[in-house]
A and B are shown apart, each in its own frame.
Chain A
């Protein structure tokens, strides 16, 4: 059997390759996942990436993957057909900030047949990260669904707040704020998904 290829850092200079829109070339994905007519509640997802000393991470790349407002993934192995693609990619700016425009996802099935709470999957890459990191964004205003989510249930209670985005309003739009803390007291929970 072939052995897996080791991970390496994305490095500091990925933007012209992975986010070439910034350099005038076509890219495969950006920070806007929605068209004006995409069904569902349109939201902003924004925040900051900070390191262990609280300094902004100005050269991170974030990718998100999510279901549509009805809880369907595009091209899913369950045959789901979503209203939109559900994948986004962006870089952080000089202050470590990022921002996506998307829809609030619906609930998707859990392995036991019940439903997961609405969530957005995120991959974090950056200079200094030798491995990409998986985290999840849950929503503050989904208290009941969050309470029965099988993934959140595995997270020690004291660390759950690191995964829950706070609802605000920004420019008249519902906005969820999510901080990615790579290290420190409130280090974000990063996952390994096991079979």
Chain B
């Protein structure tokens, strides 16, 4: 039995610290002690693989997957991109889950108290599997910004939450996609918690070439998961 391939170390230069004091909730929740380094084992090198059975027909179309008596209100957008690993290889057949606020900046979640309207035709959650090239594609509504209690006059920039698995338990990633040119990004402690050189990786690109003429504009967002510990051979 050949040992399963290992993954590169965590790139600490890209991820936020555990505690970013401007993000208030992190102060009492982020661990204080450094992560304990241990060897990768079969436990972390394996992971759940979700097949087509996990995906319903409308799961990637958020404009229709919860519609009751019409279409959701707001600006229709395509959000698509590729999931790659740090070696640039596509991550095929992996589960991508998204969730977001509606156009008014309101979440369906029961604890969301923002006095903005819910949309009876919009849930704001979707999922899909990447194709052989690592591509995913969602049709949704551009989410609105919303106020939160972190500090006085705090607003989250418009964003879409992403959850990905990749090939192993170790390649799990939970992140957020932001929109280009959003003036709230400069004031958002969650976005600003990312080291400056890596922040722009969380901002989608406006992609007119991916738009559906007469129907929806488009944003492109590529996602990179942890890659192999050793650069794979080019000519196998």
Q: When the two chains form their complex, are residues B38 and A8 in contact, meaning their CB atoms are under 8 A apart?
A: no
Given A17-B99, A28-B54, answer yes or no on A6-B31 (Cβ-Cβ < 8 Å): no
What CA separation (Å) do A133 and B1 show in the bound complex?
A: 30
Chain B neighbourhood of A18, CB < 8 A: 97, 99, 163
Cross-chain contact B174 with A7 (CB below 8 angstroms): yes
CA–CA, A136 to B225, complex, Å? 22
Q: Is the CB of B99 within 8 A of A129?
A: no
B172, A123: Cβ atoms closer than 8 Å? yes
- Judged by a CB distance under 8 angstroms, whether A151 is at the interface is yes
> Interface with B: A37-45, A74-82, A139-147, A167-175, which one?
A74-82
Tell whether, in the assembled complex, residue A151 and residue B41 are in contact, meaning their CB atoms are under 8 Å apart.
yes
CA distance A105 to B23 in the complex (A): 38
Kindly state the separation between the CA atoms of A23 and B40 in the bound complex, as whole angstroms.
36
Looking at the assembled complex, report how far the CB atom of B8 sits from the nearest CB atom of chain A, in whole angstroms: 7
Q: Which residues of B contact A (CB under 8 A)?
A: 1, 3-11, 14-18, 20, 23, 25-33, 35-50, 54, 56, 66, 84, 86-88, 95, 97-99, 101, 107-112, 123-125, 127, 161, 163, 168-170, 172-176, 190-191, 193-195, 198-199, 201-202, 222-227, 229
A6-B194, A74-B48 given as contacts; is B43 within 8 A of A111 (CB)? no
Known A11-B161, A17-B97, A121-B169; judge A194-B190 contact (CB<8 A). Answer: no
Q: How far is the CB of B27 from chain A (nearest CB, A)?
A: 8
Closest chain A residue to B127, Cβ basis: A28
Of B8, B9, B28, B172, the contact of A55 (CB 8 Å cutoff) = B28
A21 CB to nearest chain B CB (Å): 12
Q: Which of A12, A77, A134 contacts B4 (CB 8 A)?
A: A77
Chain A residues numbered 95-130 whose CB sits less than 8 Å from any CB in chain B: 108-111, 116, 119, 121, 123, 125-130
Tell yes or no: A176 within 8 A of B by CB. no
- Asked whether A190 lies within 8 Å of B36 as measured between CB atoms, the reply is yes
How far, in Å, is A93 (CB) from chain B's closest CB?
A: 12
A111 contacts B16, CB within 8 Å?
A: no
Judge whether A195 and B87 touch: CB under 8 Å: no
**A46 CB–B CB distance under 8 Å:** no
Query: Is chain A's interface secondary structure helix, strand, loop, or mixed overall?
Result: loop
Instruction: List the B residue with the shortest CB-CB distance to A65.
Output: B169
CB-defined contacts of B33 to chain A, threshold 8 Å: 187, 190
Q: Are B23 and A191 in contact, CB atoms less than 8 angstroms apart? A: no
Chain A residues with CB under 8 Å of B88's CB are 1-2
> Distance (Å) between the CB of A158 and the closest chain B CB?
12
- By Cβ-Cβ distance, the 10 closest A-B pairs, closest first, are A17-B99, A128-B25, A128-B29, A77-B4, A195-B229, A13-B109, A87-B48, A195-B6, A17-B125, A130-B16
Given A11-B161, A26-B56, A130-B18: A5 and B46 interface contact (C-beta under 8 Å): no
Identify A111's interface contact among B3, B97, B195, CB under 8 A: B3
Residue of B nearest to A153 (CB): B38
Is A2's CB under 8 angstroms from B222's CB?
Answer: yes
Q: Are B43 and A121 in contact (CB under 8 A)?
A: yes
Contacts of A73 in B (CB 8 A): 42-43, 46
Q: How far is the CB of A118 from chain B (nearest CB, A)?
A: 11
Q: Would you call B29 and A129 a contact (CB within 8 A)?
A: yes
Residues of A within 8 A of B32 (CB): 52, 183, 187
Asked if B124 and A16 sit within 8 Å, CB to CB, the answer is yes
- A residues near B190, Cβ cutoff 8 Å: 8-9, 130
Closest A residue, CB atoms, query B25: A128
Say whether A192 faces chain B, with CB atoms less than 8 Å apart.
yes
Given A85-B48, A128-B30, check contact A1 B87 (CB 8 Å): yes
Residues of A near B123 (CB, < 8 A) are: 16, 20, 23, 25
CB-CB < 8 A to A119: which residues of B?
Answer: 43
Bound Cα distance A116, B45 (Å): 14
| Chain B residues whose C-beta falls within 8 Å of the C-beta of A55 in the assembled complex | 28
6 further A-B contacts with Cβ under 8 Å, apart from A9-B174, A119-B43, A188-B31, are: A4-B11, A8-B190, A9-B190, A28-B95, A86-B48, A192-B9
Q: Is B28 within 8 A of A15, CB to CB?
A: no
